[in-house]
């Protein structure tokens, strides 16, 4: 039996329509699936942003609380000494001089704390305000070493700067100085007497220099290592107060390293002491 042409054409059209409908249905299902995945991704991103905002809020709240706590001691000390000096009872000249010296010492501590907090805030929120230039890293490290020379001599600390003379980066002079200054001050405050300090470039690649900073001192309990770069960390409250530090030195080191395109970690050195490993991005014209 011969099928009429008109019937054949209608059948073909029906088949084509069914195929198109099926294809559209598959496309719709695929599109719906993609939209669901996109919605899930957006929701996860939203939750991540909310979590990050909450984390930042908590960090700022914690930092504000810590700053208030750190300010309390020097302010209370200054107030106490001044109340005695301005009181009705006469104060011997020797004691008067001592109280004024203590007041001056505490104002220096306040000044250091304010400067360190301002530096960290600037690094976190306005890092583009730091000027960049070609930096000779060894030369900057030598500046920090020379500045602390008298303190090294008083504690019989020997520092060896073994960085290459022509090791250059594109960076900020004051921040690179702060890295070495704070690491060296950390040695003075906590490593003990009769120790050695070494600074060397142990590796380099196309983009970065890798620096090893170590001392042969006391080191710290391993449980404190993960938090060593935290703000206001006090491993030994009494000794930290006595050292006069702000508790922000190693946090500044980490932020300054990140600013220069690097990273940093710390561990106890085999045989005693601490060792820091950090990287700095090369100057563009270096090979």
Distances (CA, A) of 16 to 9, 11, 23, 123: 11, 9, 10, 65
* β-strand partners of 199: 161, 213
Q: Where are the alpha helices (DSSP H) in 215-248?
A: 237-243
Distances (CA, A) of 222 to 53, 251, 266, 281: 30, 18, 10, 29
CATH C-level class of 132-281? alpha beta
Burial, 209: exposed, middle or buried (Cβ in 10 Å; 0-12, 13-18, 19+)? buried
pLDDT of residue 59: 60
Percentage of the chain exceeding pLDDT 70: 74
The residue assigned the tokens 């301005």 is 86
pLDDT of residue 287: 47
* β-strand partners of 197: 159, 215
> What are the phi and psi torsion angles at 136 (to 5°)?
-90, 105
Q: Rounded mean pLDDT of 70-94?
A: 84
Long-range CB pairs of 45-50 (<8 Å, 24+ gap) are none
pLDDT band at 61 (very low <50, low <70, confident <90, very high): low
User: d(Cα 48, Cα 62) in Å, to the nearest integer?
Assistant: 21
The residue assigned the tokens 């980490």 is 254
Please tell me whether residue 220 adopts helix, strand or coil conformation: coil
pLDDT at 67 over 70: no
Over residues 154-183, the pLDDT tens digits come to: 999 999 999 999 899 999 999 999 999 999
- As a 3-state breakdown, the chain gives helix, strand, coil percent values, each rounded to 5, of 60, 15, 25
User: Considering only 62-66, 142-146, 280-284, which range has the smallest mean pLDDT?
Assistant: 62-66
| E runs forming strands in 208-273 | 208-215, 264-268
pLDDT at 63 over 50: yes
Long-range CB pairs of 110-117 (<8 Å, 24+ gap) are 110/71, 110/74, 110/75, 112/244, 112/246, 113/67, 113/70, 113/71, 113/74, 113/246, 113/248, 116/246, 116/248, 116/249, 116/252, 117/63, 117/67, 117/248
Average pLDDT, the chain: 81
Q: Rounded mean pLDDT of 112-126?
A: 81
pLDDT band at 237 (very low <50, low <70, confident <90, very high): very low
Which of 178, 184, 180, 170 minimizes the C-alpha distance to 141? 180
Contact criterion met (CB below 8 Å) for 188 and 159: no
**All structural domains of the chain with their residue ranges:** 132-281
């Amino acid at each position: 039996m011969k099928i009429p042409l008109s019937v054949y054409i209608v059948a073909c059209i029906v088949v084509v329509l069914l195929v198109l409908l099926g294809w559209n249905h598959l496309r719709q299902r695929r599109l719906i699936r993609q939209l669901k995945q996109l919605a899930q991704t957006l929701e996860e991103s939203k939750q991540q942003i909310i979590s990050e905002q909450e984390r930042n809020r908590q960090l700022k709240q914690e930092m504000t609380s810590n700053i208030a706590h750190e300010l309390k001691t020097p302010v209370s000390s200054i107030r106490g000494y001044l109340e005695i000096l301005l009181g009705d009872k006469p104060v011997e000249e020797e004691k008067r001089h001592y109280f004024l010296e203590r007041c001056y010492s505490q104002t220096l501590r306040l000044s250091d704390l304010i400067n360190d907090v301002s530096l960290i805030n600037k690094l976190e929120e306005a890092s583009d305000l730091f000027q960049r230039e070609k930096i000779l890293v060894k030369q900057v490290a030598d500046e920090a070493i020379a500045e602390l020379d008298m303190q090294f001599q008083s504690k019989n600390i020997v520092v060896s700067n073994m960085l290459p003379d022509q090791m250059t980066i594109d960076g900020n002079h004051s921040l690179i100085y702060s890295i070495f200054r704070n690491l060296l001050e950390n040695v003075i405050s906590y490593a003990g007497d009769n120790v050695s300090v070494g600074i060397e470039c142990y590796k380099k690649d196309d983009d970065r220099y890798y620096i090893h900073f170590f001392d042969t001192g006391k080191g710290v309990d391993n449980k404190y290592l993960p938090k060593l770069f935290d703000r206001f960390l006090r491993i030994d409250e009494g000794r930290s107060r006595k050292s006069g530090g702000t508790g922000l030195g190693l946090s500044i080191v980490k932020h300054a390293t990140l600013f220069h395109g690097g990273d940093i970690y710390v561990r106890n050195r085999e045989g005693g002491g601490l060792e820091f490993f950090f990287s700095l991005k090369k100057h563009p014209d270096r090979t």
